[in-house]
Chains A and B, each alone.
Chain A
């Protein structure tokens, strides 16, 4: 499978009052056509900044650099603003965490769905409306005609996220970037929305980059996984590799932290990662996890060596078991 997205050496720096915050540090990954990549990590690890950097939606105080940033044969790093605007919402689209703030409260659902389509594909209002109604049906919303005339506040959170998904699909994208798409939703709705996304992916064949903090979501939807810590990817592999044999101490620690029915015994102590995430302002040298790591040694002050084993990659002094 050829890659739809190639990221090499992505860096995002933010200017903050205290100096330069290195939000994303030398991040590289590939996404194949139709693949689901989950980027997982805790708050402040740079996962959302990575998503925004891909979409060209970084805040004003941010600077993006990359050795290579290629989407569908187009060099995003060199693309003009107009080119990026033409791609976004068309060939690549984004789903945000909070559909209430991502949808415009002053326009009807139909207006917003059709707006995307006509901006990128042109065509008649009738054609756009037909596409919108078709996709609302696809995301499981009945009585599409009536829904198109409604405003976002008239829908429940779960339905709003379905509308967001329909909007992302309007122009038949090759890639969808979803940033915590189900975090604001109830658990039963979360399962429904994720299932819908995977079903639509099977039907339309788009690739999916899903950003989440939830290891359960990762395990159930990911083909491949990238674990981020302090702005960098510390481990990458298939979902099976990362969950069955985590190689980086941070990944292993994270998996041990969550209660899992059947694995952890009720009432018993859960694993914990002592300490807190380091500040990302100023120069960062060596392994960023070493201050919290039980296996840390003096050589962790140097850049950690990269290991690879059958597509499973990690950055740590500890090699294969």
Chain B
């Protein structure tokens, strides 16, 4: 593994100018239109970190997750894993190193397969071990994620949501991947089960030295697990910073609104005023300039004309004209 000039480790995965568009039909006779789900994302994933990706529905976070997993090819740009381009890698070689845990443990497990064979499937695909060896490893992993071995011959339908999510995690880990992409892994679970799964993910990270990409709309959860956070809005990263920095000093007005919207269980605090208008952007018809400008209380003329680029500000990178050395003065 090479070193950057600054002495930092080279990243495990590098995302360079990644874009993904979809052609969207808006009715029988309407012309198809282009949705820029991921619209120029640059990101590095360092070994051992938990990179939280936050944003609201339609911001492109799940599309980005699927691109990292090689499930959706990039329309433009590159995703590079240890020097090899994800789009050109053998699907099996990629799957051995990058594994998913999805939101819905009901939809992501084959209802007709027994638990042990669901967990052992990656081993079958990679032709690892014989039948008995694969089963032994599957059961071992099931026990490691907190499921009793007696469930090995059950079907997913006989398990609770939390148990199913444990199965999904066991399946993701059975190949000992380096990166686990968790897309809203606890959003479908009750809070008492969510805490069990979060604790498990944190334990497994330490035990196996895993790197997580952790996608969630729940900022309290992301603050709890992430070491670094990327905030996405309309297909772009608008802020990227170490977790403690972004929660202590959010810079982008959208990050500030997101954090202000978190309802902590503190009675008497009342409801926050997010200062966001009602204008909700149409992802098919994003506003000119900064995508956030129609909802932004600080928007100036330049925000409606030019898209801000990610610029360094202390330990953070933020895409907002207010932090731009030239335009920033207008906001003072």
Which residues of A line the B interface, CB within 8 A? 42-43, 140-142, 156-159, 186-192, 194-195, 198, 213-222, 238-240, 243-244, 253-262, 264, 266-267, 269-273, 276
Partner of B191 from A42, A141, A262 at Cβ < 8 Å: A42
Is B84 part of the contact surface with A, judged by Cβ < 8 Å?
Answer: no
Q: Is the CB of A258 within 8 A of B274?
A: no
Partner of A271 from B195, B219, B263, B273 at Cβ < 8 Å: B195
**Can you give 27 contacting A-B residue pairs, CB < 8 Å?**
A43-B190, A140-B278, A186-B56, A186-B217, A187-B258, A191-B263, A194-B263, A198-B271, A215-B191, A216-B263, A218-B265, A220-B266, A220-B269, A220-B270, A238-B267, A240-B268, A253-B192, A254-B192, A257-B191, A259-B223, A260-B220, A262-B264, A266-B244, A267-B202, A267-B224, A272-B195, A276-B162
Q: Is the CB of B272 within 8 A of A191?
A: yes
Partner of A188 from B220, B226, B276 at Cβ < 8 Å: B276
Nearest CB in chain A to that of B198: its residue: A270
Instruction: Flag B244-256 by CB within 8 Å of A: 1 or 0 each.
Output: 1001000000000
Chain A residues positioned under 8 Å from B247 (CB to CB): 261
Instruction: Flag B172-190 by CB within 8 Å of A: 1 or 0 each.
Output: 0000000000000000001
Is B75 part of the contact surface with A, judged by Cβ < 8 Å?
Answer: no
**A13→B272 CA distance, assembly (Å):** 39
Chain A residues positioned under 8 Å from B56 (CB to CB): 186-189
Supposing A258-B191, A272-B199 touch, asked if A243 and B274 sit within 8 A by C-beta, the answer is no
Is B160 part of the contact surface with A, judged by Cβ < 8 Å?
Answer: yes
Q: Is the CB of B224 within 8 A of A264?
A: yes
Q: Is the CB of A269 within 8 A of B264?
A: no
Nearest CB in chain B to that of A262: its residue: B264
**A216→B269 CA distance, assembly (Å):** 11
Quote the shortest CB–CB distance from A91 to chain B (angstroms).
Answer: 26
Quote the shortest CB–CB distance from B209 to chain A (angstroms).
Answer: 15
- Most chain B CB neighbours (cut-off 10 Å) among A189, A215, A258, A264: A258
Partner of A195 from B262, B267, B273 at Cβ < 8 Å: B273
Closest 9 CB pairs of A and B: A216-B263, A259-B224, A239-B267, A186-B56, A257-B195, A270-B195, A42-B190, A191-B261, A273-B192
Is B149 part of the contact surface with A, judged by Cβ < 8 Å?
Answer: no
Quote the shortest CB–CB distance from A210 to chain B (angstroms).
Answer: 12
Q: Is the CB of A257 within 8 A of B194?
A: yes
Q: Is the CB of B57 within 8 A of A186?
A: yes
